[in-house]
Structure 1
Amino acid sequence: MDQYTQQEEQDATDALPLPSPYENELIADSGRVLEDGRVNINLDSKVARAIAESINYQQELRRSSVDYNKRFAQGTSFDLKLNIVIQIVGSRGDVQPFVALGNELQKDGHRVRIATHGVFADFIHSSGLEFFPIGGNPAELMAYMVKNPGLLPQMKTLREGEIGKKKIMIAEMLDGCWRSSIEHDPYTQQPFIADAIIANPPSFAYIHCAQALGIPVHLMFTMPWSSTRSFPHPLSSLNADPQNNGLDCWVSYGVVEWLTWQGLGDVINKWRASLDLDPIPTTEGPSLHEALKIPFTYCWSPALVPKPKDWPDYVDVCGFFFRDPPPYDPSPELQEFLLLGTPPVYIGFGSIVVDDPQKLINTVLAAVRASGARAVISKGWSNMDGEQDENVFYIGDCPHEWLFQYVAAVIHHGGAGTTACGLINGRPTAIVPFFGDQPFWGDMVANAGAGPKPIPHASLTTENLAAAIKFCLAPQAATAAQEIASKMQAETGVAEAVKSFYRNLPLDRMRCEILPDQVAVWKYKKKNRSLKLSKAAVQTLIEYSRINTEQLQCHDINPIIIANNRWDPLTGVISAGISTGTRMLKTSTGMIRAPYKELTRTKSSPAADQRRPSTSRSSSTPNSTQSRSATIQPGENRPTSPRSPMSTAGNMASASLNSFGQFTTGYFKGVLVDIPTAAADGFRRVSQVYGDKPKDYGTVSDWRSGAKVGGKNFVGGLKEGIVGLVKHPWRGYQEDGKDGALRGLAKGAAGLATKGPSAGIGLWAYPFQGIVKSIEAKFRTKTRKAIVVARLLDGYAQTIEMEMTEGDKAAIVEEFDRLMQLD
């Protein structure tokens, strides 16, 4: 926080979302927060039922809106060379599996960049991978999660103002993830722009970065994040009813996603605006990765948790990610302790940061003595260090791959990586979970018989920890752990994850038509001919004066469209009206606050302004002026000089007028575009209530598509409404005679009564929506320019790295000329 001034912190806090008006009702009505932070969901509550219905409806809309096909056959070699950024938020245990993945991808010739917290720079560089810092302090994140292990913060946290600080950190990491996608290497200054993104869900930025760049995105995680009826979301707690076929488990994912979006939606939308992206509606934000059918790979062993049958084919369970064991030279003292005596148990809590480490180590030592075992205790991020004991050995950083060969059992916090390493070595495992997926892994290990039931850290005592150690040292636990180990040792998790990544790439849109082993990121159009070209091919063609940059367009390999699906005209219009009113309220407040902020900024000391760093953005890439100039935000702090009173007054008036302009624009956009479009969409969707599937007339992206959608909706809507007056009664008569015909007549009349208004309103609403989008696109050029610059610079660097000869370049030009001459 020391890089922020008090004014900057206040500005950031002002921009944070207000609490949802439904949060208190949800907490009081639908459940309670348990000691381990999970949300105990009461599915019989009004709010939970409403959310369940909402989620179910949205999922049905989404299932029908995307057609997914796998395009990469098993056993086929993958010859494309990609720039891949892997975005990770979390602890060392979260980062380490992706280092193994990055090394595996490097074997196929890809350039791999790991984007995560700065403290892991040396670890990642030592593994031979590129590193990009995204900001955020994992120790602070771990300490916050220990205090607030679930979705809902404790009252003490609210009083201490930690929520605002955490959201500022999240905003910093979102921005860092975007910069990791397009900025130079901060150490070598080599240009970089991503061709694909791999991420873990807590990084939050992945879909939005991929949407801005038009590239594929793939999620990988050690924790269930996809809706299933097989088990509840790990951050929820519910007593499953065997009579409802797992519906409560499935709904728990939607409830958790809904709560998450309530807390972060405004932060994400504010950041999206800086990327020239439209805000995501509240109804679409939760479970967005499922709505868009983002491919997902779970890096755990199917021997421990098999893939649920209701997960689609673009969701894979591949096995744990294990890196090659690093070289390690243990101290003579550690070797002597491990080999002279009965095998000890390992006890460690990794990157967990607790408030009172002394209390924790005292409990651990007492339990070790009570169990009669010997122990190797890892100090971890909490720096657990207790009194000396001949049966206890304290260690610092030590590779688990090496150490776990010599221990009898492992007792830890339940991180997926530590769990995996213990089990593949056949070691019984006792888990003391603190937050996140740790209770889930504790339950899975206990269900497999390889360890006792997990002990929540808040309930940890000398007695139950000693009992857990004794359970792990019993023969039956060792047998169960060995059975799991034999299955895991036959798995190749990292290699399978790479295959999963390849299988889910849209290869039909990715290949350059001149250099087929390179990714096409440019589209060149001339007359009736269009070519997909790579960065290196374009750089060569520019060098030989075959094309110029004005003839190029960015080629969206994987266009991501986040539509605002309406349920019905009433809720659609109300939602659009509330959004319009909220937007107008914010801008009207700005007419008062903006001049005051301008005055406050003027009164601040110029010398202090000059000492103040601009933001963390510039710290990582001091020489990347090209991409930096295209990503400067309005209101970033620059060195200032004293202003005259007239200049200050003018700036204050300008700020007020700017807010007034936004107020007026928001009003007319809401009245003329947003509300009518919501009504047209809502009327068109009503037919779903009685089983009809509404036609999809396309997406409005500019004035042309707006006119096209409006025309199709008008003609198609009237036609469907009129035809339905005959079709539904006739079908009803065939199925159920006279009664069926009467029901069909009612259905047909309802169809005409809803599709007719949709056709009439949409005839002008959709074209107006398209015109607005076209106008907005003219002003939203900052991000696109940054992408163009980054791709040109990366293309130039690639041609140098490829060491192209003049003959190679001439062959590219010759092939380009040949392709352009084809009919």
Structure 2
Amino acid sequence: MGRFDLVGMLPDKTVQPHGASEKEPTEQFEEAPPTYEAAVEELVKTLPGTRADDGRIDIRLDSALYRRLSLLVPSEKLKRKSEDPPDYTEQDGRPIRLNIVIQVVGSRGDVQPFVALGCQLLRHGHRVRIATHGVFSDFVRSSGLEFFPIGGDPADLMAYMVKNPGLVPSMESLRAGDIQKKRRMVAEMLEGCWSSCIAPDPLTGRPFVAEAIIANPPSFAHIHCSQALGIPLHLMFTMPWTSTGEFCHPLANIVGHRRGVSASLANHVSYLAVEWMTWQGLGDIVNTWRHSLDLEPIPFTEGPLLAETLNIPFTYCWSPALIPKPADWPAHIDVCGFFFRDAPQYTPEPELDAFLKAGPPPVYIGFGSIVLDNPERLTSLILAAVREVGVRAIISKGWSNLGLGQEQSSDVFFLGDCPHEWLFQHVTAVVHHGGAGTTACGLLHGRPTTIVPFFGDQPFWGHMVAAAGAGPEPIPQSQLNTKNLAEAIRFCLSPNALEAAQQMAAKMRAESGVERAVQSFYANLPLKQMRCDVLPSRAAVWKCKKGKRQMKLSSMAVSVLTDNMRLDWKELRSYQSKPINIDLRRWDPFTATVSSLMSTSTGVVTSAADIFIKPVQAFQKPKSLKGDGASTETASVTSASEDIFCRPAGTPLPPPRSESDDHRHNPTVTALTGAAGGVGGVLKHFYKGMLADLPLAVAEGMRVAPRLYGGEVYEPGQVTDWKSGGIVAGKNFSHGIVEGIGGLVMEPVRGAKEGGAAGAAKGAGVGLLNLGTKMSSGLVGLVAFSSQGLIKSMHSVAHRSTGEAIKAARKEEVLDMTASGRSEDVKQVVLRDFGRLVIFGDEGRV
């Protein structure tokens, strides 16, 4: 369908518009397709306005955007009631030790809570690796944790977010090329996150393969890494990311009025809108990267809210005293409390110590990782406000280097790096940007707080602090001036604000956010599927058929067994303790069939266009080589960027071009190869669409049709390979025949019991509908599900490189364990229990 425009269905810019002349192909394709930036610029012009102060998108209840998205909110979400998270009870009282990678994208305030979590997991006996930006390597390693760099520059990211606080970029950023830079950074971090799962430690070279993943949502790679490895994933974050009817998404704003629209539905739509816009900008990058991992592309309709669709466990690290868990969040979602690390040992520099002792406690003012274009202006504004109120102040220089060139004085101290855990004990109030970590630290110490939000969740936290009475309403950074900052400081110095902040601090001290988050992580692990059959305290990552049963084994067990000649490497296969299968969900027979036909048609048309486009492009020279004065290098960069940012989702990127490539490649050969590829694409899309995709869409559409008239939808299982495809086809066929024919009798009987004659008549109608939908699904599904399973098996056979890379990394881990040696007790337990299981099966288990 191409790119999805949340307002006006922005068309795919890579497809030639209808009505182009077939007689003049050279003129038809003379102009290159618009770049990604051009497409976004059109999106910016058509979107309902964004708020100028904090960048949130306005979702108008009377807009086409709202009407479209509201249809996609399942009714069961609006009726869902809160469930308590499951209790964590280790099976048989046995702990399990895991290799855990924690993937984090963001500023230091985003990384620090996960360092606290990592330290707690380390105490539980796990091996913990923090995967984040390279600038935080010393910070992570100094906490005793392993570190892996994923790329990306958080300073650049912060600067971009300050200029573009919302989801829609500014025209200035579009024209400056910031979007390209950000997308390249995301692509780099996706690759880095995958490497963090299977690459050795960069310092020691010690092998590492993840057995569980913890991540914050902006790292984006989490679900896909989990799917490739088949291991559990747990998301954790400092702002609401799961749809709820209780409050709007922090990055959206519901405006306008519409009769009959419930607040719950409008709030749910806000989450869907934010996710769809995010996927609009990054979906093609994610799918291109998935292709490199041998994973199939994610359909556009499944990308948004994918974590919710897959029921990925989610832990929110904020205080339930500040924001209780919404009543409509299910059991696998929990609110645990803020993550606080152990207070670091800190001795203040003599100048800071002298300043604190020289007068009454000062006010802290700082904006941490925020990168500003004009720090001098903000410094002057802060100094004027401080003088107006008549208080002493500590101004943190931060990444923007506030106070550059200013002299220290008896009333103002310009501070470098200093842990907030120590500093906030010595101030009377805090003014900052509203990062979740800084907000939590201020409240934990009972300090009234003024928040000056720049982007993201910062306005959300500002409103939460104000609602608790611990600070004034947030002041958007674009509206900050001397007067309102002075008034905010006065509010924080009031007795009421101090009392509210201290009450909040007392509640937060009674919580143990990090330890509860660890328990939440344990509670959602599939421990039965994860445990090694001979070493239950280790995670199974291998499987083999031996004796009477299929066994799942840990790397430690395999190390012992291969070293003692009990197993050969040829007998071992990779084991997935938590497989993920992402399918295209269908809503009804009509839209399922139409969308399948449209998808097939788009593929055929695009490939047919390549038959003509590729030869023309092969003989064309870039405009920069036609005398416009631009350099060859510029032309190459422009061509590459257009190729990357306009390529359809899921299409793999070509290898980088060089100047020598242009001279070496024969245009005639390139033209013929491109045309032949177009012909192959036409045949592939047509036959796959008609013989596999369309029957599957019809079968699935008919299967879910009973939902439209209040009936039950049968779930025959997931298709993962040819074998499961046959099983699902058989189950669906049997159910369709039995329920279709049997329903003609049973539905009127059920209806009569519930509603008398009218109910019987209604039941007869439902029975006739079931006869048509369920039998049709069963019959068509015999071919559809079997074909789907066969295609998946063929895909697995043809795309093995990632699986082989995982096996190689795990084998290195086994060999490292063998070289390092195991305790004699472990060796004896493994050999004894393995022998018993081989001979007696499960009866031999101790």
Task: Assess same fold via TM > 0.5.
Answer: yes
Partner of 1:111: 127
Distance 1:68 1:640 in 2: 61
Paired residue for 2:752? 733
Corresponding residue of 1:577: 597
Alignment of 1:115-514 (within 5 A): 115-238=131-254, 244=262, 246-385=264-403, 387-388=406-407, 389-514=409-534
Match of 2:844 in 1: none
Give 1:764 deviation, angstroms. 1.4
Deviates more, 1:578-587 or 1:302-311: 578-587
The more displaced of 779-788 and 155-164 is 155-164
Q: Shift of residue 722 of structure 1? A: 2.1
CA contact (8 A) 2:447 2:498 kept: yes
Map Cα deviations across residues 609-653 of structure 1 (whole Å, 9 max, x no partner): xxx9xx9xxxxxxxxxxxxxxxxx985569999899698865765
**Which residue among 55, 60, 67 is the counterpart of 1:37?**
55
Instruction: Report if the CA contact (8 A) 2:199-2:208 is conserved.
Output: yes
CA distance in 1, matches of 2:720, 2:138: 44
AA aligned opposite 2:542: W
Work out the CA distance in 2 between the residues paired with 1:569 and 1:697. Answer: 17
Residue 331 of structure 1, CA deviation: 1.8
Structure 1 residues 77, 404: CA separation in 2 closer, same or farther (over 3 Å shift)?
farther
Q: Closer, same or farther in 2 for the Cα pair 1:177/1:581, shift >3 Å?
A: farther
How far, CA to CA, are the matches of 1:801 and 1:108 in structure 2? 22
1:542 to 562, 586, 606: 562
- Equivalents in 2 of 1:228, 1:480: separation in Å? 27
Q: 1:167 offset after TM fit, Å?
A: 1.3
Q: Which residue of 2 aligns with 1:626?
A: none
Secondary structure of the structure 1 residue equivalent to 2:453: coil
Once the two structures are TM-superposed, the CA of residue 681 in structure 1 deviates from its matched residue by 0.6
User: What residue is the counterpart of 1:629 in the other structure?
Assistant: none
Instruction: Name the residue aligned to 1:683.
Output: 702
Q: Is the Cα contact below 8 Å between 1:83 and 1:112 reproduced in 2?
A: yes
Q: In the superposition, relative to structure 1, how do residues 105 and 548 fare at CA in structure 2: closer, same or farther (>3 Å)? A: same
Q: Which residue of 87, 99, 102 maps to 2:118?
A: 102
1:719 is aligned to: 738
Find the counterpart in structure 1 of residue 810 from structure 2. Answer: 791
CA distance in structure 2 between the partners assigned to 1:89 and 1:426 by the alignment: 29
C-alpha distance in structure 2 between counterparts of 1:43 and 1:74, whole Å: 48
1:609-624 correspondence to structure 2 within 5 Å? none
Contact 1:414 1:441 (8 Å CA) reproduced: yes
Cα distance change, pair 415–400 in 1 and its aligned pair in 2 (3 A): same
Residues in 1 aligned to 2:716 and 2:41: alpha-carbon distance in whole angstroms: 35
Q: 1:744 aligns with which of 726, 743, 763?
A: 763
SS in 1 for 2:438: helix
Change (3 A) 1:175 1:642: closer
**Equivalences, count:** 782
Counterparts in 2 of 1:153 and 1:401: CA distance versus 1, 3 Å:
same
1-side partners of 2:84 and 2:223: how far apart?
17
Which residue matches 1:619? Answer: none
214-223 or 495-504, which deviates more: 495-504
CA contact (8 A) 2:250 2:457 kept: yes
Say which is worse superposed, 384-393 or 686-695, in terms of deviation: 384-393
1:302 to partner: Cα distance: 1.4
Deviation at 1:660, TM superposition (A): 3.9
The one-letter code sitting in structure 1 at the alignment partner of 2:716 is: Y
| Alpha-carbon offset, residue 396 of structure 1 | 1.0
User: Contact between 2:610 and 2:675, CA under 8 Å: does it hold in 1?
Assistant: yes
1:34-76 deviation digits (Å, cap 9, x = unpaired):
4311112223333312212212259599x99xx9994732899
1:379, 1:21 → 2: CA distance?
35
3-state secondary structure, aligned to 1:800: helix
- Alpha-carbon distance between aligned partners in 1 of 2:468 and 2:355, rounded to the nearest angstrom: 31
Offset at 1:33? 4.0
The Cα offsets for residues 271-330 of structure 1, whole Å up to 9 and x where unpaired, read as 111111111122221111111111111111112112222222221111111111222222
Separation in 1 of the partners of 2:739 and 2:84?
28
**What SS class does the counterpart of residue 404 from structure 1 fall into?**
helix
TM-superposition CA deviations, 1:442-477 (whole Å, max 9, x none): 011101100000001111111100100010011111
Identity over aligned pairs, percent: 52
Contact 1:706 1:768 in 2 (8 A): yes
Distance 1:540 1:17 in 2: 56
Secondary structure of the 2:431 match is: strand
Amino acid at match of 1:459: Q
Any conservation in 1 of the 2:534–2:829 contact (CA below 8 Å)?
Answer: no
Change (3 A) 1:148 1:79: same
**Distance change (3 Å), C-alpha of 1:600 and 1:384:** farther
Distance 2:590 2:228 in 1: 32
1:400 is displaced (CA, Å) by 0.7
Using a 3 Å threshold, how does the CA distance of structure 1 residues 211 and 593 change in structure 2: closer, same or farther?
A: farther
SS of structure 1 residue aligned to 2:346 = coil
Cα distance in 1 for residues equivalent to 2:87 and 2:568: 33
Taking the aligned partners of 1:325 and 1:587, their CA distance within structure 2 comes to 60
Q: 1:136 Cα deviation (Å)?
A: 0.9
8 Å CA contact retained: 2:355, 2:410:
no
Matched-pair contact (CA < 8 Å) for 1:240–1:248: no
TM-score (ref. length: structure 2): 0.86
Q: Sort the Cα spacing of 1:740 and 1:211 in 2 relative to 1 into closer, same or farther, 3 A.
A: same
SS at match of 1:146: helix
Select 2:835's aligned residue among 792, 812, 817. Answer: 817
Q: CA deviation at 1:106?
A: 0.8
CA root-mean-square deviation: 3.4
2: CA distance between counterparts of 1:768 and 1:585?
Answer: 24
Residue 85 of structure 1, CA deviation: 0.3
Change (3 A) 1:702 1:594: farther
One-letter code aligned to 1:310:
D
Q: 2: distance between equivalents of 1:15 and 1:508?
A: 50
Letter in 2 for 1:345: V
Distance 1:808 1:477, change over 3 A: closer
Residues 52 and 255, structure 1, Cα contact 8 Å, conserved in 2:
no
1:227 CA displacement: 1.8
Corresponding residue of 1:49: 67
Q: Which moved more, 1:80-89 or 1:518-527?
A: 518-527
The 1:118–1:644 alpha-carbon spacing in structure 2 relative to 1, beyond 3 Å, is closer
Deviation at 1:159, TM superposition (A): 2.4
| Greater mean alpha carbon deviation, residues 69-78 or residues 279-288 | 69-78
- Contact 2:78-2:265 at 8 Å conserved across structures: no
